[in-house]
């Protein structure tokens, strides 16, 4: 299990190198989230809660590993300023079977979205605005 909270960019290809190596791993799923340039967005700033962030992500990742019996699990989440096209975060899961690798990755994303202490502020043509949490994101937790 590898968890990193950082301001610097990261390279998903390099992070996946060697991830899930091992003769009992049949499936690796990765998700990478990027800043979209929708509606004139010029930049984004992500604030987080140092200390709690790492703990919250470790708890979420630990639950994913236990529940889907993952061979490995990776979470990287950036904070600070970012521009459209830049990568915000990634998760990866390694498992015996395809279904569990997919499910665990979606579980990680749903929980990171609503239970890890990050807040996005968008800077666009009309000024700056904190991104509001969406009811669907909270509802998504209900499926797990």
State the residues that interact with another protein by CB under 8 A.
33, 46-49, 51-52, 55-56, 77, 88-89, 98, 109, 112-121, 130-133, 137-138
Task: Tell whether residue 28 is a contact of a second copy (CB under 8 A).
Answer: yes
Among residues 3, 5, 10, 30, the one that binds a second copy under rule CB under 8 A: 30
Reported as type and span, the H/E element at residue 40 is none
* Cα–Cα distance, 77 to 9 (Å, whole number): 10
Task: Tell whether residue 27 is a contact of a second copy (CB under 8 A).
Answer: yes
- Nearest CA-CA partner of 95 in 71, 60, 62, 73: 71
Which residues of the chain form contacts with a second copy (CB under 8 A)? Answer: 12-17, 20-38, 84-85, 96, 98, 101-102, 105-106, 109
């Amino acid at each position: 299990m590898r968890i990193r909270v950082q301001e610097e960019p990261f390279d998903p290809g390099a992070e996946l190198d060697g991830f899930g190596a091992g003769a009992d791993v049949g499936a690796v799923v990765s998700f990478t989230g990027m800043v979209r340039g929708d509606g004139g967005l010029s930049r984004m700033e992500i604030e987080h809660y140092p200390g709690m962030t790492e703990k919250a992500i470790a708890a979420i990742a630990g639950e994913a590993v236990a529940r889907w019996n993952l061979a490995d699990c990776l979470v990287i989440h950036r904070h600070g300023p970012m521009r459209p096209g830049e990568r915000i975060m990634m998760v990866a899961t390694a498992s015996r079977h395809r279904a569990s690798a997919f499910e665990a990755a979606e579980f990680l994303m749903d929980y990171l979205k609503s239970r890890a202490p990050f807040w996005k502020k968008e800077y666009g043509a009309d000024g700056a605005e904190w991104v509001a949490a969406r009811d669907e994101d909270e509802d998504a937790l209900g499926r797990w």
